[in-house]
Amino acid sequence: MFGGGEGGDGGGDTYSIPLVFALSKDTLDQLRDLDTASPAVRLFSEWCRRAEDEADFRGRFKCMGMIEDVESSGVPQFIAGYNGKPALVTKSGTFTRHGGRYIEFTINVDRWGYLARKGLCALTPSFPNFVLNIGFTIEGRGDDELPEALLGGVRVANLDPDRAYVLDA
């Protein structure tokens, strides 16, 4: 369903949800002087520098998803227990640099572990009933990298996979 092949091999239908984020003026100002920047901005700068070549560092990209009102959403309890829990994007994440001004981070759900993929597939028919909040950050691992800060977030209401359309490649 999400990529057509075990382990992200492709070959079948898939969904893509592109999200575009821009840096705030405050973040841009901090990036100009990393000595006075917040720990989160310094960590983001380091991640941008190292993520393309270092899988371990790239794997510090963290997602947090929360279905609003999960108790009455019909989500099975074994899945609801993960609501709002952060997850690191390790093997399923790829980083691409586009010149000096743009980066792209892609999360390939088909490379997630079996149970995570099956859980997501089980939820797909219920997506139109959900309001889902998703946030992204880089995981801080030392006092000099904390507190973490939200890189970007999105609120998705009533996403209906049946209304998706095919784009020509």
Dump pLDDT digits (tens) for 56-112.
999 999 999 999 999 888 888 888 999 999 999 999 999 999 988 899 999 999 999
pTM: predicted TM-score of the whole model, two decimal places: 0.88
User: Taking residues 18-31, what's their average pLDDT?
Assistant: 96
In this predicted structure, the answer to whether residue 5 has a pLDDT above a threshold of 50 is: no
Centroid of chain to Cα 7: 18
Distance CA 67, CA 17 (A): 17
Q: Where are the domains of the chain?
A: 25-163
Residues with Cβ within 8 Å of residue 53, at least 6 apart in sequence: none
Q: Is the pLDDT of residue 38 over 80?
A: yes
Q: Which helix (H) or strand (E) holds 141?
A: none
Neighbouring residues of 100: CB distance < 8 A, sequence distance ≥ 6: none
**Position 1 confidence tier, pLDDT thresholds 50, 70, 90:** very low
**Rounded CA gap, 65 and 79, in Å?**
12
Token code pair at residue 23 = 């840096």
